[in-house]
Amino acid sequence: MWLNKFIHIITGKGKKFYPLFISQSDIVEKSAEILVKILKEESYEKKKEYARAIKVLEKQGDAMEMNIFETLYRTYSTPFDREDVQNLCSSIETLLDYIHDSAKKVVIYQPKYVDNTWIEIGESIYEDSKILSEITRELSSFKNKSNILMAKCMKIKDIEQEVDDQYECYMSNLFEVEKNGIELTKYKNIIQSLEDTTDRAKEVGDCIKMILVKEG
């Protein structure tokens, strides 16, 4: 690892990864914003249109992930451990996949109503994505902004814990009031997918925290 750091200091080639992470997080943020629109939209046709837009962004995310991996393959010098570059890239892409999956479930299941809790969790996912965009834009200065970035990662964790509480409260009430088995399954799967998405956001934050600890 010391050799990689030395080469990075001499060549500065590892800097090429930072714009790629920014682009990757921008795709996630745009997708999360559209997910909220899907949850708030009443028109089913408009929901499908939004879902198609997320699908396009998801494909862009796949291409960006491949770009990062190819760059990693071609480049010896990296801004931090190669394994951490790979893990961060993969965790961001997984978050995007879960946003896409949540959007698909809302459209495919065609629930009779959209609960306010779903919208609130969708907005939490969007908030996670905005924090991630902020982090990636400051990642090139992570040694000087370690405390700031760590605080942002902790905010993502706080959001995940708040959503856990919302999820538990919703599920407890769902099984109490919903007697239609088909609708219950739909609602359960949708909110589970949304809650899982905030878990994936926390995993991105955990990956960044690991980088900050190892490289600090």
Structural domains of the chain in order of their starting residue, each with its CATH number:
2-215 (1.20.58.220)
What is the C-alpha to C-alpha distance for residues 128 and 100, in angstroms, rounded to an integer?
A: 15
| Helices 146-177 + 116-138 axis angle, to 10 | 170
SS3 115: coil
pTM: 0.92
pLDDT tens digits along 45-104:
999 999 999 999 999 999 999 999 999 888 878 888 899 999 999 999 999 999 999 999
**Residues 11/2, Cβ–Cβ less than 8 Å:** no
* pLDDT at residue 216 in the model: 66
What is the C-alpha to C-alpha distance for residues 13 and 115, in angstroms, rounded to an integer?
A: 48
Give the pair of three-digit tokens for residue 84: 């951490």
**Residues 22/133, Cβ–Cβ less than 8 Å:** yes
Mean residue pLDDT of the chain comes to 92
Q: Where are the beta strands (DSSP E) in the chain?
A: none
**Residues 75/16, Cβ–Cβ less than 8 Å:** yes
